[in-house]
Chains A and B, each alone.
Chain A
């Protein structure tokens, strides 16, 4: 045992909605600084509810969520959102100011930072997400979805949370835009040291970017571990209506040829082929 304490610790968390629906039950887990995690699971499995418990938007019905030593039950939402930021699935549900500058400044102003500090934070966040100055005075609704998502992320970044949760970062984006957003999140993770949690149904994206995967089903954690390990358990995934990426499925179907159950990317598959290929099957 070490005396190391994780940044987030969740103990026996249960959450019921006001109408009595039990959305989370008996959740135990911890998250360390600098992790890149994906929450996956069927629609309605509790991914978003768990995220909202992590940033204090929802208070546990029973059990505890402890972030940076603070128990969410006794900590104000203002203190919580400075530590864990949550970017909504649909940026339009989050953006409400009439220009991008005010949108990004809203959080810092709300935690009563002086106006000169607000200005610094807006400029920093906008530059991190790559939002050009020409958009500062624009109404967010006139931007493309990709840019709106950047504004939404910038408005969360302005609070400088250690942990950033992004709900469905790639929905409605084409492949290039998706990779751009994911590369950006990876930069936040690697260069700036933010802990990143993504909630997604896009398994190839999970395979490519997440180091750890948490599988949710019916309000419980069904599996939690390194990405390759989790995708090697098709049985667990099927319980929550998830399929591993197609390349992983292919590797699993030809496992008898020597391919690994935990193959995550096309590159890995090609490398294995090079190693396993019959000797007289040389390139022509």
Chain B
């Protein structure tokens, strides 16, 4: 693996604001990594996302310090538009991204801009339609579909361009739980099959945790915590203090830790939690409630 994004001493302040939105950030992303970024609203998550695909400083006015490199080259060195081919962003508000009058045009627009051949466009279109389950909506205008469907169109449009790096800003905020799982399954699939580098900003941690190699906590414009996912959540006290709500099973085990009933690592998934809980009961309970002892009181 080699570094695909290198951020050093990076600070950004939007023009006309008093405080920086990002303050002295250091972050290296390896090629093929899956990274989760969490933090309260206003902590700088979206600003960080825009900084990695050149929207900042390109499209926004502000003051920058430090460097942001993508594939070894500073974002400012890329010709206009070139960086966006490498780094695709799925915006949290899908309507921000729509330009076309049908879902089909919306999906094809980006690929046409890449100068792809018609057969190639057709092939990719079929692929993303199937991945995101949108075939039946192909000829609908984007304003006639539901919020959840819009989010899937936004994701499909970026997927179709096959960027090396994909950044998704709250990609599932409007989705029902199962559509949410479906999106994360798509991400897992492209991670495994195409080795894209994927960066996801999310409040909903349940689906993110099993996929993320590494997690990052932003708070108040600063990068407060960065670690491999399992170790990251051992800092649960800090996360709770910063207004992050880890999934229910993890919070339950944290409570058991606090009460002295549990001393191991916090479980990352519901499956793991069920296993650990069964162990707690078996390791002590089974020995105690042997049949010779009669009925359990």
A61: Cβ under 8 A from any B Cβ:
no
A236: Cβ under 8 A from any B Cβ:
no
Contact A173 B252 (CB under 8 A): no
User: Which of these, B147, B170, B175, B261, contacts A273 with CB under 8 Å?
Assistant: B261
Chain A count of residues within 8 A CB distance of the other chain: 46
Q: Is the interface of B mostly helix, strand, loop or mixed?
A: helix
The 0/1 profile, CB within 8 Å of B marked 1, for residues 245-277 of chain A is 111111001100100000001100110010011
Contact B178 A42 (CB under 8 A): yes
Contact B285 A278 (CB under 8 A): yes
Determine the chain B residues whose CB is within 8 A of the CB of A247 once the complex forms: 248-249, 251-252
Q: How far is the CB of A242 from chain B (nearest CB, A)?
A: 6
Number of A-B contacts (CB under 8 A): 127
Decide yes or no: A43 and B146 within 8 Å by CB, A173-B41, A246-B206, A250-B270 being known contacts: yes
The 0/1 profile, CB within 8 Å of B marked 1, for residues 197-241 of chain A is 000010110000000000000000000000000000000000001
Contact B176 A175 (CB under 8 A): no
Contact B288 A246 (CB under 8 A): no
Determine the chain A residues whose CB is within 8 A of the CB of B273 once the complex forms: 250
Contact B41 A277 (CB under 8 A): no
Bound: A245/B46 CA distance, A:
27
Determine the chain B residues whose CB is within 8 A of the CB of A278 once the complex forms: 280-281, 284-285, 288-289
The 0/1 profile, CB within 8 Å of B marked 1, for residues 133-171 of chain A is 000000000001110000000000000000000001001
Contact A266 B248 (CB under 8 A): yes
Contact B178 A175 (CB under 8 A): no
A130: Cβ under 8 A from any B Cβ:
no
B173, B181, B245, B252 — most chain A CB neighbours (10 Å): B252
Bound: A41/B256 CA distance, A:
33
B149: Cβ under 8 A from any A Cβ:
yes
CB<8 Å pairs between A and B, sample of 21: A42-B176, A42-B178, A44-B149, A168-B147, A175-B203, A201-B176, A241-B178, A242-B178, A243-B178, A246-B247, A246-B249, A250-B248, A250-B273, A253-B270, A253-B274, A254-B274, A269-B252, A277-B280, A278-B280, A278-B281, A280-B288
By Cβ-Cβ distance, the 5 closest A-B pairs, closest first, are: A283-B260, A247-B248, A241-B178, A278-B285, A43-B148
**Interface residues of A, Cβ cutoff 8 Å to B:** 41-44, 89-90, 144-146, 168, 171-177, 201, 203-204, 241-243, 245-250, 253-254, 257, 265-266, 269-270, 273, 276-284
